[in-house]
Structure 1
């Protein structure tokens, strides 16, 4: 979420950065609302200060009342006999001696009434402030992160900038695509999956299921060896978790929701990993915290009708290994480079050619301020396809999720970063196409052979019936 203070103090900067994303936002209205919230907060603070002053004055009067009470003469009367003729005079003298006491009582009562009035006014201001603050928050929840100054400007994905390449991409011979290889080798079944669920689901079979499992285990082991802590998060997440990571409210139509509970199928492990420290204050000395998580991911893929309808590229359910960092703001730029290198390490170990592309401002994800996409070479298709997005989000997710760090006596928002390490199905697709052999088999890269227990995948003797 954007910083309300930034909107209040420098609305022109906010408007300019949102324009870089290609968005036309009425920042002036947000600016006025943010100023109103701040004015209400200032008025409330002033009233509370006045209320405390009155409370101290009441305390002073009560102490004086006690002192005066201790000095008052005690009038004794023996009621076993009728009062003397002088009793009215004695009573009058006692009242005259307590005149200061009575005045203090009046002042204390008046101050207490004034204090109650202040409390009522503070309560009324708090209610107005909260209502306006909630309205401002709801508006800010719909706005994306501001792009980094280093992020290249652009109007579409055509303006993304290639930063580097690894490996020598070449067309496959034979040039079968992965969905063709999968069918020939009996690795997965899409037609029967429609009976089980619907289109855009797939069932992995035999060596295909084993290859998926081997890739997941290989990726997890590699990242743990590089210093990540492994996490196995829930596959269901609540609305607060999706909101904190930036999936909601914008991507509600892209997500699957449980009808009877405040639960959603997680679209990415980024969501539960962000929520893992929601409302926490982490010690700055304990940063960075680096997590790696395998999880099934679920997405409606709304708006992708007719695209990638065959194979493993675009499914409603897929497996992914996610990398996530909580880090000090001063270290987030270096952390972004390291996160990207960690994701690249998987492709390099599998010896799959790829390129690194920096996304332009128009193509940035909602929560990201800067992103590197890793695009793996699909030899059968003869094209690069995204297999990981490595993003730094600044304090955007931390503000939405109230995740802070303690540095000395000060608490401040930390920074978050995330990236796929990698999308498993797309890794399998790239592997099948890159390592296909002239005889129809697929070689297994050396790094993966201990996990697969074989060096080559050959066509099965008989297909499942």
Structure 2
């Protein structure tokens, strides 16, 4: 959730953020009213408790002939205290519910608007050009015998697939390359659970307006995660961390699941937008003052990967209305997909500031000895979708695909993927 003190002191900033996102501005006033009611309820309860404690001493010192009447008064006062405590609980629940609907305040400079209102920060590399009619990744996968979509559909339904032979090896090679690079940058590898409790999913901000995109198992009251970010954020829930010597960094390897109930079109062809995929996710716990610098570092690690793979890409500053509830700023990297003549998202890197940490009660100790929420950040370092850009970018006229040099050591030196 957002910082309650920020809500009280700078409601206009929260309203501006809500407006930039296209979210309810009126919700800010509702949250302020709920906060005022909560604090009044707490003040009233504490006053009654103090009165009760003082009256208890009076009863204890009273003569025997006066105690009976005083005890009745004490019982009536106790009933008032109990009712006041109920009101405090109800008002606190109402406040949490209302303020929990507010999105993380955006960082200054984030563009306003929706999905199409992003700002391109830089474009890197050269668009691949061909002197032949290039195949899309689905046709290449079928021709090479490395992606089997018909059998994936037969077994599991639409948007499922098999990676076969060199297709499976290529994904594993990509993931291992990313893992090696993550380790070199100080990330500790974790293979994470892919089923999490509701409080963990809610704590990361994924049970808002996009909750219908998440698979839920009602018999177990568990959610399938669409990213290891969820488990990684919950890893240190209810803990006090030491971030005085720098970020705590984790690289989470997991299978991910998303309902992906989008419209029909090119997004649905092949393995670009699927229900199940593998991903290596970077996650960092940092001092809030270091969050923006860490955000830039995560993006640089992603760019190093994409550059080494020979992909043409652009880095965009995502508009406020497309951030999701938890992110205060998000940078996406989109690679050029030749047969679609457009860029497609390969990585997403979010600075969630202290939003998730407040929900999950993850803190650090300040110089004064008190505790305060840490900041959390996350970003993709490799995922199945990258195969789309790799296959299409490095294809040759005969239908073979040149393996990027950095992946060859993970494939036994294979230089070219040929038909099975």
**TM-score, normalised to structure 1's length?**
0.84
Q: Does 1:229 align with 2:188?
A: yes
Mapped partners of 2:315, 2:138: distance in 1:
25
Worse overlay, 7-16 or 204-213:
7-16
Mapped partners of 1:16, 1:110: distance in 2:
58
Mapped partners of 1:284, 1:55: distance in 2:
47
Q: Matched residue of 1:308: which SS?
A: helix
Q: Which residue does 2:46 correspond to in 1? A: 45
Mapped partners of 2:191, 2:403: distance in 1:
27
Structure 1 position 206, deviation (Å): 0.7
Structure 1 position 439, deviation (Å): 2.3
Q: Does 1:31 align with 2:32?
A: yes
Pick one of 201, 205, 208 that aligns with 2:164: 205
Instruction: Report Cα offsets for 1:348-391 as digits up to 9, x if no partner.
Output: 22222211111122222221111111111223333211111111
Structure 1 position 419, deviation (Å): 1.0
Q: Which residue does 2:270 correspond to in 1? A: 311
Mapped partners of 2:87, 2:390: distance in 1:
59
Mapped partners of 1:150, 1:57: distance in 2:
61
Instruction: Check conservation: 2:253, 2:281, Cα contact below 8 A.
Output: yes
Structure 1 position 418, deviation (Å): 0.8
Instruction: Check conservation: 2:318, 2:329, Cα contact below 8 A.
Output: yes
Alignment of 1:410-449 (within 5 A): 410-422=370-382, 424-449=383-408
Structure 1 position 110, deviation (Å): 7.3
Mapped partners of 1:403, 1:117: distance in 2:
41
Classify 1:168/1:110 alpha carbon distance in 2 versus 1 (closer, same or farther; 3 Å): farther
Classify 1:304/1:116 alpha carbon distance in 2 versus 1 (closer, same or farther; 3 Å): farther
Structure 1 position 145, deviation (Å): 1.7
Instruction: Report Cα offsets for 1:110-158 as digits up to 9, x if no partner.
Output: 77766655544333222112112212322333332221112122x2333
Mapped partners of 1:263, 1:302: distance in 2:
20
Instruction: Check conservation: 1:219, 1:421, Cα contact below 8 A.
Output: yes
Structure 1 position 169, deviation (Å): 1.8
Mapped partners of 1:242, 1:439: distance in 2:
47
Q: Which residue does 1:88 correspond to in 2? A: none
Instruction: Report Cα offsets for 1:90-124 as digits up to 9, x if no partner.
Output: xxxxxxxxxxxxx5556787777666555443332
Pick one of 335, 344, 349 that aligns with 2:308: 349
Instruction: Check conservation: 2:146, 2:167, Cα contact below 8 A.
Output: yes
Instruction: Check conservation: 1:187, 1:205, Cα contact below 8 A.
Output: yes
Mapped partners of 2:50, 2:293: distance in 1:
45
Pick one of 109, 128, 131 that aligns with 1:150: 109
Alignment of 1:58-137 (within 5 A): 61=61, 118-137=77-96
Mapped partners of 2:65, 2:243: distance in 1:
54
Task: In structure 1, list runs of 5 or more residues that go unmatched.
Answer: 62-102, 461-465
Mapped partners of 1:116, 1:336: distance in 2:
58
Instruction: Check conservation: 1:443, 1:455, Cα contact below 8 A.
Output: yes
Classify 1:421/1:8 alpha carbon distance in 2 versus 1 (closer, same or farther; 3 Å): same
Mapped partners of 1:132, 1:355: distance in 2:
47
RMSD between superposed Cα atoms in Å:
2.2
Instruction: Check conservation: 1:37, 1:132, Cα contact below 8 A.
Output: yes
Classify 1:421/1:112 alpha carbon distance in 2 versus 1 (closer, same or farther; 3 Å): farther
Classify 1:190/1:121 alpha carbon distance in 2 versus 1 (closer, same or farther; 3 Å): same
Instruction: Report Cα offsets for 1:14-52 as digits up to 9, x if no partner.
Output: 222201112234232222122101111122223333444
Instruction: Check conservation: 1:220, 1:293, Cα contact below 8 A.
Output: no
Structure 1 position 57, deviation (Å): 6.2
Worse overlay, 275-284 or 7-16:
7-16
Mapped partners of 1:417, 1:382: distance in 2:
31
Classify 1:263/1:444 alpha carbon distance in 2 versus 1 (closer, same or farther; 3 Å): same
Q: Which residue does 1:178 correspond to in 2? A: 137
Q: Matched residue of 1:311: which SS?
A: coil
Instruction: Report Cα offsets for 1:306-328 as digits up to 9, x if no partner.
Output: 45121111001111111111111
Q: How many residues align?
A: 416
Q: Which residue does 2:119 correspond to in 1? A: 161
Alignment of 1:284-433 (within 5 A): 284-285=243-244, 287-408=246-367, 409-422=369-382, 424-433=383-392
Instruction: Check conservation: 1:172, 1:380, Cα contact below 8 A.
Output: no
Q: Which residue does 1:13 correspond to in 2? A: 13
Q: Which residue does 1:260 correspond to in 2? A: 219
Classify 1:415/1:58 alpha carbon distance in 2 versus 1 (closer, same or farther; 3 Å): farther
Mapped partners of 2:131, 2:95: distance in 1:
58
Instruction: Check conservation: 2:363, 2:371, Cα contact below 8 A.
Output: yes
Mapped partners of 1:266, 1:181: distance in 2:
30
Structure 1 position 165, deviation (Å): 2.2
